[in-house]
């Protein structure tokens, strides 16, 4: 007489192997989730910088609009701002091409919830685009800045880089 089915030992071995594979998958997915978050935030930062550049180009065609648009960078957030005309003037004394308290904010992106730090080398705090070219101004004055987004993944520091130069070229690594 043949018996069909599995023994208790065979079932326990299969359940043990499945539990081991599932735990490995969960650990892997947590690390990859943080890496994906880091890459997503890198793409959002690049998009925000390119949006400021695009808005600056569009501004030139609209009379009475802004002197330009920029991105203000601090360690836990970055924000897209509009440098407004003062009495219809965009001269150097009216527009300092950097973020000042009271500037009109277009968009602010917080990085508190995703545990990501921003840093730039050299320590550039503002990337500003002046229409119509758009001419790019990095504050303080630099020819290029490397913005690093970093977080801690599985006990190791992981980072991605966004590079902006004075010609307005934006690239990510």
CATH value of 31-172 in 3.40.630.10, 3.30.1300.10, 3.30.360.10, 3.55.40.10:
3.55.40.10
pTM, two decimals, is 0.78
Contact 129, 95 (CB under 8 A): no
Residue 60: the pLDDT is 66
**Cα–Cα distance for residue pair 127/137, rounded to 1 Å:** 6
- The rounded mean pLDDT for the chain is 83
Q: Which helix (H) or strand (E) holds 69?
A: strand 68-74
Q: Specify the higher pLDDT residue, 85 or 167.
A: 167
* Structure token pair of residue 89: 């003037």
Residue 90: the pLDDT is 72
Torsion sign over Cα 114, 119, 125, 126: negative
Contact 53, 131 (CB under 8 A): no
Q: Which of 7-16, 64-73, 139-148 has the lowest mean pLDDT?
A: 64-73
Residue 72: the pLDDT is 92
pLDDT tens for each residue of 80-129: 998 877 666 676 555 778 888 777 788 888 887 667 888 888 888 999 99
Domain ranges in the chain are 31-172
> In which band, very low, low, confident or very high, does the pLDDT at 1 lie, cut at 50, 70 and 90?
low
> In which band, very low, low, confident or very high, does the pLDDT at 155 lie, cut at 50, 70 and 90?
confident
């Amino acid at each position: 007489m043949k018996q069909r089915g599995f023994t208790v030992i065979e079932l326990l071995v299969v359940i043990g192997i499945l539990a081991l594979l599932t735990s490995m998958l969960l650990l892997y997915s947590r690390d990859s989730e943080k890496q994906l978050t880091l890459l997503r935030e890198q793409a959002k930062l690049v998009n925000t910088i390119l949006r400021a550049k695009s808005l600056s180009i569009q501004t030139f065609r609209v009379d009475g609009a802004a002197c330009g648009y920029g991105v203000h960078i601090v360690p836990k957030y970055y924000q897209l701002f509009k440098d407004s005309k003062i009495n219809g003037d965009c001269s150097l004394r009216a527009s300092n091409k950097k973020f000042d308290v009271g500037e009109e904010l277009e968009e602010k992106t917080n990085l508190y919830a995703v545990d990501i730090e921003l840093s730039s080398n050299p320590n550039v705090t503002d990337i500003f685009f002046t229409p119509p070219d758009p001419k790019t101004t990095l504050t303080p004055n630099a020819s290029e800045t490397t913005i690093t987004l970093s977080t801690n993944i599985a006990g190791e520091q992981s980072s991605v880089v966004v590079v902006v130069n004075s010609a307005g070229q934006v690239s990510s690594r």
